Every structure is written in C-alpha cells, then in structure tokens.
Chain A
Amino acid sequence: DAGITQSPRHKVTETGTPVTLRCHQTENHRYMYWYRQDPGHGLRLIHYSYGVKDTDKGEVSDGYSVSRSKTEDFLLTLESATSSQTSVYFCAISGDRLNTEAFFGQGTRLTVV
C-alpha cells in the first residue's frame, strides 16, 4: 500500500468550529488531492496541490482552504464547519505525468452537528 496517512480517522465537531484534516505521505509524490465522498455524488475534488505552496481549487472548494508547506503534508481546513460538510474525506497522491495511478488514503469521516 502507498504510504498515505490521514488524521484523524473520525471526528465529530459542532457547527461553526474550525476543523483541520491532515494528509501525510511518505512517497515523495508531487501531486496531492482532497476529495469528499457523498452518497449519490461519488468523489468530488475539493482542492489539489502540484507542489509545495502550489495549490488550486477543485469543483467543490467553497468553505475549504488548504496548505502545503512540505512535500509530505497537505492540510484541509474548514474555517467554520457547516452540516453540509458532513462527509467522508479522502486524500490522494500521484506522481508526475508518467505515473498515472492515484493512491487514496483510508478516509476521514467528519460529522458536523
């Protein structure tokens, strides 16, 4: 299995509180991604990173921010959590253009009450 660790694996938080999810990789891969998975929607890209301090928005980025200060870490922050952000969050990594496979982490189940 690719070396991807997501933390925490489960979290319950209250509406309006900030939340940070962490993705840590040991593969030295260039690209890192945050997806959310919801019933009936499959996986949808939130943000991605193509290098240290280089990030961009995906299709569902509103309400989320990211940071990547080191190759191995990609943080996803919900500045003020809402119930609509209750979801399972997956981090994924992939190498350069010659490396086609994206490896996914185990996921973080976030519940906003």
Chain B
Amino acid sequence: GENVEQHPSTLSVQEGDSAVIKCTYSDSASNYFPWYKQELGKGPQLIIDIRSNVGEKKDQRIAVTLNKTAKHFSLHITETQPEDSAVYFCAASREPGTYKYIFGTGTRLKVLA
C-alpha cells in the first residue's frame, strides 16, 4: 500500500544550527507534499508545502526540496531557535485539498539553547 517513511524519529540540534528531516514516498502519483508542525497539546499546522512541478521552495528559514525521480522530499530549517522545537510531519497526497494525505510517522525536533 501507499507509504511515507520519515527519518529521523528524533533530532537534537544546537540553537543556530540547521536541521534536516527526510521523507520517502511510495505512490508515484503523489504530487503534493505538505509539512506540518505540531506543538505540544495542539493540532498540526501547515508550515510549508511543495507541488511536484517545483524542485525547491523557501519561506524565510524553512525550505523544502523535492526529488521526484528518487521519490524523496526534505525539510530544511536554518538558524534554528528554541521555538522550532516540536514534532514535524511530512505527508504526500495525489491532489491538493483532498483527503488523501498519507502522513509520515513524525520527527521530534529539540533545539538546545
């Protein structure tokens, strides 16, 4: 069945360093890849997304890259801050806005001050 693998499951970085989270998807028809951030006791919140016709997208300190050939996509956070500490989920979908989000298992990021 369709699957999204996410690594690592936990990640600790020093404040100011970069963090990279990687995902691999199995459904070659996937064409929309959102990233969600979940803070303790809250629901996931979209932080950035990318469509299959784009290789990279940036939003301030956050960037996402997509390699459709390898079916890999990654989240890059630069100049990490303590408030970046959270659980991050990647997801893959065949169509934006529809139900078919297959989520990764999550990465707990800790930014050490």
Whether A100 pairs with B96 at a CB distance below 8 angstroms is: yes
- Minimum CB–CB distance for A42 against chain B, Å: 4
The contact of A31 among B43, B98, B106, by CB within 8 Å, is B98
- Minimum CB–CB distance for B25 against chain A, Å: 13
Question: Is B20 located at the chain interface by the 8 A CB criterion?
Answer: no
Question: Is A99 located at the chain interface by the 8 A CB criterion?
Answer: yes
List chain B residues, Cβ under 8 A from A58: 99
Interface string of A92-110 (1 = CB under 8 A from B): 1011111111111111000
List chain B residues, Cβ under 8 A from A56: 99
Whether A43 pairs with B95 at a CB distance below 8 angstroms is: no
Interface of B is mostly: loop
- Minimum CB–CB distance for A66 against chain B, Å: 12
Enumerate A63-108 residues with CB–CB distance to B below 8 Å.
90, 92, 94-107
With A43-B89, A100-B32 as known contacts, state yes or no: A106 contacts B96, CB within 8 Å.
no
The contact of A104 among B43, B100, B105, by CB within 8 Å, is B43
Interface string of B9-51 (1 = CB under 8 A from A): 0000000000000000000000010101000011111100100
The contact of A106 among B6, B36, B43, B100, by CB within 8 Å, is B43
List chain A residues, Cβ under 8 A from B6: 42
How many residues of B are counted as interface, with CB atoms below 8 angstroms from the partner's CB atoms? 25
Interface string of B37-75 (1 = CB under 8 A from A): 000011111100100000000000000000000000000
Question: Is A45 located at the chain interface by the 8 A CB criterion?
Answer: yes
Whether B49 pairs with A43 at a CB distance below 8 angstroms is: no
Whether B44 pairs with A101 at a CB distance below 8 angstroms is: no
With A48-B99, A97-B95 as known contacts, state yes or no: A40 contacts B32, CB within 8 Å.
no
Beyond A31-B97, A100-B34, list 14 extra A-B contacts (CB 8 Å): A31-B98, A40-B105, A41-B105, A43-B44, A43-B101, A50-B99, A90-B44, A94-B97, A99-B97, A100-B32, A102-B34, A102-B46, A102-B101, A106-B42
Interface residues of B (CB under 8 A from A): 1, 4, 6, 32, 34, 36, 41-46, 49, 89, 95-101, 103-106
